[in-house]
Amino acid sequence: MSGRFTRVGSMPQPTDSPSPAPTPAAAAEVFGDRLALAEAYHRSLATVAAERGFIGPKEVGRLWERHLLNCGVIGEAFAEEMDVADIGSGAGLPGIPLAIARPDLHVTLIEPLLKRSTYLREVVAELGLDNVSVLRGRAEEQKTGLYEAVTSRAVAPLGKLAGWSLPLVKVGGVMIAMKGESVADELERDSAEIARAGGGEAEIFTVGEGILEQPATLIRVVRTRESGRR
């Protein structure tokens, strides 16, 4: 995927942090001419985010395959120029890789914790990501009907996630959530909760075929009506 190139700033790096892993060949396919931004974000996760405890020590050596590439390929699921919210963004996953891979999207990172939202603002400024904004707060406290899509990764069980996500999108908008292989079971179990949140048609699909060793599993749920939340 291609887009305009943004000059990368230098992120502060703790001297005792592990060295970043080499950039895999697949990264160029996912991030195109914004690969340098993805590499800078990778360095920040491996150093600053790891130092602050947002990334576990075991994850540092596998950031590319389990986090950046895995999140970057979800750009396949979004239409052009969508206004997207990433709820429970944490250290910026999946929102920042999505915004790097898809510069046409505007991505709002919604994160309730002060330390994490502070980091998000720092890294967004350092990378010069002018298509990303950071909002500190809980998803269920935000204004409803603002976005065309809401995404997330490893935030909550599907029913609860739908209750947080679907009210944020306009009627006709979508929740596109990263989920594991058990998502079909979650969908069957939580269908009533999804309906109460205003959800209608649901589709389970994968992205990253031919790029990732294990493609990412997503679920798309359309918001077909108003929910009880205002």
- How far apart (Å, rounded) are the C-alpha atoms in residues 111 and 91? 9
Q: CATH no. for residue 94?
A: 3.40.50.150
Domain that holds residue 163: 26-223
Half-sphere exposure of residue 185, counting CA atoms within 13 Å on the CB side?
4
Q: pLDDT tens digit string along 112-162?
A: 999 999 999 999 999 999 999 999 999 999 999 999 999 999 899 999 999
Residue numbering of the annotated binding site: 88, 93, 139-140, 153
Task: Tell me whether strands 83-87 and 106-111 are parallel, antiparallel or unpaired.
Answer: parallel
75/69 Cα distance (integer angstroms): 11
Is residue 5 one of the residues assigned to a domain? no
- Residues making up the binding site for S-adenosyl-L-methionine: 88, 93, 139-140, 153
Residue 229 belongs to some domain of the structure? no
Reading across the β-sheet that carries 147-153, which strands appear in turn? Answer: 132-136, 106-111, 83-87, 147-153, 169-179, 216-223, 199-207
Task: State the pLDDT at residue 227.
Answer: 65
The pLDDT assigned to 225 comes to 85
Q: Is residue 61 part of a domain?
A: yes
**φ and ψ at 227, to 5 degrees?**
-100, -175
Query: What's the total number of domains in the chain?
Result: 1
User: Does residue 83 fall inside a structural domain?
Assistant: yes
pTM for the full predicted model: 0.89
Q: Is residue 124 part of a domain?
A: yes
Per the domain annotation, does 205 fall within a domain?
Answer: yes
- Summarize pLDDT for 8-65 with one digit per residue, the tens: 444 444 445 455 579 999 999 999 999 999 999 999 999 999 999 999 999 999 999 9
In a domain, 60, yes or no: yes
Q: Would residue 167 count as lying in a domain? A: yes
